[in-house]
Amino acid sequence: MLKYILKRLGMMALTLFAIVTLAFFVIRWMPGSPFDDPEYSPELVRMLEEKYRLHEPIPVQYFAFLKNIVTEGFWGVSFRIEPTVPVWKVIGERIPVTLGLNFISLLLSLPLGLLAGCCAALYKSKLPDVLISALVILFVSVPSFVAASALQYFLGYRTHLFPIIYRSLGSFPERLHSLLLPVFALSFYPVATLCRYLRGELLENFSEDYLLLARSKGLTRKQVLLRHAFPNALVPLMPVIVPMFTGILSGSLVVERIFGIPGVGGLVTQSIQAQDHFLTISVLFFYALIHLLTVLITDLSYGFIDPRIRLGGGRHA
Amino acid sequence: MRKKLKKNKAARAALGILLFLILIALFGPMMTPYSYREQLTNEAGEYLSDMPPRIPFLKKLGIASGRATLKDRRVDGLSDTEKYPEGSVIRIKNRYTAPSGTEYCDVVVDYYVYKGVGEDVNFWFGTDQMGRDLWTRLWRGTRVSLLIALIAVTADLLIGTLYGAVCGYFGGKTDLILMRFAEIIRSIPNVVICSLFIMLFGTGIKTMILALAVRGWTQTAQLVRAQFLRNKTREYVLASRMMGASDGWLIFRHILPNSLSPLLTGAMMAVPSAIFTESFLAYIGLGIPAPEPSLGTLLSGAWPVLELYPLQTLLPALVISVLLIAFTLFTGGLRDVLDPSEI
C-alpha cells in the first residue's frame, strides 16, 4: 500500500512538474511584457525587466525559476496585481475565501443530496420520486453560472432577501449572509448528482437477497431501506463525493466572479490579462495540485472501502 | 431499438426540442434583415442600444410591445417634443416632488417612438448595449456554440477511437506507454489546459475547439480501449483471425462496430459538456472574441446589465438551459435503449 502511495505521489510530482514547465514556456513565449504600459517610459520598462531578469534568454530564466523553487521555495513575485508581493502570499490571502466557499457548499450538499436520494428511492415512481427526478435533471443540466445569475436577480435585485455581492468587509454574520447565494448556486449540481447516485444505488441493492430476507422477517420497506440498504449504498458513493470538490472548485471560478468574491478564481483571468507571469503559473499550479490530490484520494478510497480491490497490482496490497 | 426510443416520452420530447433548436439556430438569423454585428442607429445617428422587444402580432396583446419605463424624469420636461416625440409617452407613474421643488415621475414610453424608429422596424428580442439585434445574435450564438461543441466532440471521437483501439487491440508495452501519456493529459484540470491553450493561440473559434478537444479525447480513448480489451478475445474475432483477417480489418470491421453503442452515448454526453465548457470559459473572460456571438459570450456580455435589462440575460440563459436539459434527457433515453443493464 505504502509503495503504491509513494508511486502515485511520484507520478503526481512529475505531472505537476510538466504542468509548471509547460505553463512557463507558454507564458514566456507570449508576445508582450508585463510592463507594457503607456505610462511607463522605455527606460523604466528596461530597468524593471532587468530587475526581474526578463531580458535573459527564456531557458536561462526557466532554470533560474526552477532553482529558486527548489532551493528557496520561492515562486517569484507578482508584477501587476499586487506588485512586488511574493505570489504565494497573493494567492494565500485568497485561498481561505475560496476553500471556505467550497467546503460550505460541499457540507450543505451532502445531507441534502442524501436526503433527496433516500426520499426518491423510498417513494419510487410515486409523486416525490417524480418530483425529485425532475429537479435532478434540472439541477444537473442548468450551468452554475445561469443558476447564480437567476439567484442574484430574483433573490438579490428583486426581493432584496440577500446581498447582491459578497461583503468582504462586513461582520462575520454579514459575510456569511452574503455568501449564501453563491453557496446555493454551487450546491445545485452536487446535490443533484448525489441524489441520482444514491437513488440508483439504493434501488440496485433492493433486489439483493439480504434485503429480501429482511423484508420477509417483517421489516417495512422504509426500515429495510434506511437500516440495511443505506449504509451499504454509502460505500460506493465515496468516489463520487471526493471529485465533486474539484467540480465545485472550478464552478466557483465563475460564481466568484458573479458575486464579486475575492477568491483565487479571479486571479486566473486577471493574471493572464495583466501578464503577471509568475502569478499565472502559481495559480495554475494550485488548481492542478487540488485536482490531482482529489484524484489520488478517490483512488485510495476504493481500497479502503472495499479491501477486495487491490491497488497497484502487487501480490498483497 | 427504435420502438423502445419511441416509448420513452421524455427522450422523444427532448429530441424534438433539440431538432427545433438546431433548426432555429440554422435559420433564425436569416429571419431578420439585421446582421449579428451591425450596430444599428436611428436617423439622428444615435445607437439603438438596449431596445425592448417588439413583435408585430403580439403587440396588441400587450406582450413584447416595445414599451419601456424611464425612471426619475422631470415632469415639466415631458411636453418637450424634441425629447419625447409625439405619441411616445403612454403613462405616467409614481409622481413625486424632490426637496428642490421639481416634480419627477416614471414614464412608460413607446421606446420605438421615443427613439424615432419607424413602424416597420421590429426587434423581436430587442437589442443589446451596442445596438445589435438580439434575435439574430441569440440564434447565431446558439449555432456557434453548437458548432464548436460538435466539431470538438467529432475530433474527440476520431482521435480517441483510433488511440483507444490501438491501445486495446495491441496491448502490452504499446498500451502501457500510450495510456500513461493519456493519463498525464487527463490529470491536468480542464481550466488549466484551456487557459494555457487560449494564452498560446489567442482567443478564437478554432482555439476554443482545440482547447476542448485536447483533453476530451482521452475519455473516448479509455472507453474504446476497455471495449477492445473485452471484445478482442471473443470467439468471433478469433474465427475471423483464423480466416486470415488483418489487424485493420479486425479493428474496424469487427471489434469497433461492436463497441459502437457505449461510444455513441459517450459522445452524446460530451456535446453538452463541451457547450457548458465553452460558455464557462466565456464567463471567465476567455471566450471567443467579439463581435462573433456564442451562448457564453452573450451571457457574460449581458451580465453587467442584469438588473436593468434582465431579458438580455434571460434569453441566452433559457436557450442554454433548455439545450442542456434536452441533451441530458435524450442521452438518458438513449442509454436506456442501448444498454439496458445500466440503471
Tally C-beta pairs within 8 A across A and B.
106
Bridge partners of B74? B104
* Candidates B197, B199, B341, partner chain A, best to mutate (most A CBs within 10 A): B199
Report yes or no: A280 and A274 within 8 Å, Cβ to Cβ.
Answer: no
What's the pLDDT score for residue B301?
87
Residues B102, B216 share a domain? no
Angle at A253 between CA A250 and CA A255, to 5 degrees: 110
Which of A138, A149, A288 lies closest to B317 in CB terms? A149
Residues B146, B123 share a domain? no
Assigned domain for B12 exists: no
Residues B141, B284 share a domain? yes
Q: What is the pLDDT along chain A (317 residues), one digit of tens a residue?
A: 788 889 889 888 988 898 899 888 888 877 777 777 777 788 888 888 777 777 788 888 888 888 888 888 888 888 888 888 888 898 998 899 898 899 999 999 999 999 999 889 888 888 988 999 899 999 988 988 899 999 999 998 888 888 888 887 888 888 888 888 999 999 999 999 999 889 888 888 877 888 888 888 888 888 888 888 888 887 778 778 888 888 888 888 888 888 888 888 888 888 888 888 888 899 989 988 988 888 888 888 777 766 666 555 444 43
Distance from the A125 Cα atom to the nearest Cα atom in chain B, whole angstroms: 14
What phi and psi, each to the nearest 5 degrees, are found at residue B324?
-70, -40
- Last residue in a domain, options B129, B144, B177: B129
CB distance B324–A204 less than 8 Å? no
- Last residue in a domain, options B84, B104, B129: B129
In A38-57, the residues whose Cβ lies within 8 Å of chain B are none
Instruction: Please provide the DSSP assignment of chain A as one string.
Output: -HHHHHHHHHHHHHHHHHHHHHHHHHHHHSSS-TT--TTS-HHHHHHHHHHTTTTS-HHHHHHHHHHHHHHH----B-SSSSTTSBHHHHHHHHHHHHHHHHHHHHHHHHHHHHHHHHHHHHTTTSHHHHHHHHHHHHHHHS-HHHHHHHHIIIIIIIT-SS-SS--TTS-HHHHHHHHHHHHHHHHHHHHHHHHHHHHHHHHHHHTSHHHHHHHHTT--HHHIIIIIIHHHHHGGGHHHHHHHHHHHHHHHHHHHHHTT--SSHHHHHHHHHTT-HHHHHHHHHHHHHHHHHHHHHHHHHHHHH-TTSPSTT-S--
Complex confidence, ipTM: 0.82
Quote the CA–CA distance of B36 and B57 in Å, as a whole number.
24
Residues B168, B84 share a domain? no
Superfamily grouping for domain A95-264: MetI-like (1.10.3720.10)
Q: Record the cell numbers describing residue A168, joined without a space.
A: 468582504
Residues of B in contact with A200 (CB under 8 A): 343
What's the pLDDT score for residue B325?
92
Residues of A in contact with B276 (CB under 8 A): 143
Identify the band that residue B341 occupies on the pLDDT scale cut at 50, 70 and 90.
low
CB distance A23–B285 less than 8 Å? no
Quote the CA–CA distance of A229 and A223 in Å, as a whole number.
9
Residue B220: CATH number of its domain: 1.10.3720.10
For residue A150, give the nearest of B299, B71, B287 by alpha carbon. B299
Residues B153, B94 share a domain? no
CB distance A137–B328 less than 8 Å? yes
Mean per-residue pLDDT over chain B, rounded: 84
Assigned domain for B332 exists: yes
Residues B139, B125 share a domain? no
What's the mean pLDDT in B78-98? 80
Residues B205, B91 share a domain? no
Residues of A in contact with B191 (CB under 8 A): 250, 253, 268, 287
Residues B299, B200 share a domain? yes
Domain positions in chain A? 95-264
Encode pLDDT of B42-85 as tens digits. 877 788 888 888 887 777 777 777 788 888 888 877 777 777 88
- Last residue in a domain, options B95, B129, B163: B129
What's the pLDDT score for residue B2?
62
CB distance B299–A257 less than 8 Å? no
Encode pLDDT of B104-159 as tens digits. 888 888 888 888 787 778 888 888 888 888 899 999 999 999 999 999 999 999 99
Report yes or no: B294 and B149 within 8 Å, Cβ to Cβ.
Answer: no
What's the pLDDT score for residue B343?
37
What's the pLDDT score for residue B342?
44
- HSE at residue A244, side-chain half, CA atoms within 13 A, is 28
- Domain of B166 in residue numbering reads as 134-342
Report yes or no: A233 and A207 within 8 Å, Cβ to Cβ.
Answer: no
Report yes or no: B55 and B93 within 8 Å, Cβ to Cβ.
Answer: no
Residues B109, B251 share a domain? no
Residues of B in contact with A150 (CB under 8 A): 317
CB distance A149–B283 less than 8 Å? no
Encode pLDDT of A125-184 as tens digits. 889 889 998 999 999 889 888 999 999 999 988 888 888 888 878 888 888 888 889 999
Confirm or reject contact between A30 and chain B (CB < 8 A).
yes
Identify the band that residue B21 occupies on the pLDDT scale cut at 50, 70 and 90.
very high
CB distance B196–A284 less than 8 Å? yes
CB distance A288–B192 less than 8 Å? yes
What's the pLDDT score for residue B160?
92
Residues B161, B299 share a domain? yes
Residues of A in contact with B285 (CB under 8 A): 269, 273
How much is the pTM? 0.85
Domain count of chain B?
2
Assigned domain for B158 exists: yes
Residues B178, B313 share a domain? yes
Which of B192, B283, B307 lies closest to A145 in CB terms? B283
Q: Record the cell numbers describing residue A24, joined without a space.
A: 512557463
What's the pLDDT score for residue B5?
62
CB distance A26–B196 less than 8 Å? yes
What's the pLDDT score for residue B143?
93
What's the pLDDT score for residue A315?
44
Assigned domain for B25 exists: no
Assigned domain for B227 exists: yes
Confirm or reject contact between A268 and chain B (CB < 8 A).
yes
Residues of B in contact with A143 (CB under 8 A): 276, 279-280, 320-321, 324
Residues B304, B214 share a domain? yes
CB distance A140–B310 less than 8 Å? no
Assigned domain for B8 exists: no
Share of chain B above pLDDT 70, in %: 97
Residues of A in contact with B189 (CB under 8 A): 246, 250, 287-288, 291
List of residues 6+ apart from A186 with CB closer than 8 A: A101, A102, A105, A144, A248, A251, A252, A255
pLDDT at residue B243 is higher than 70: yes
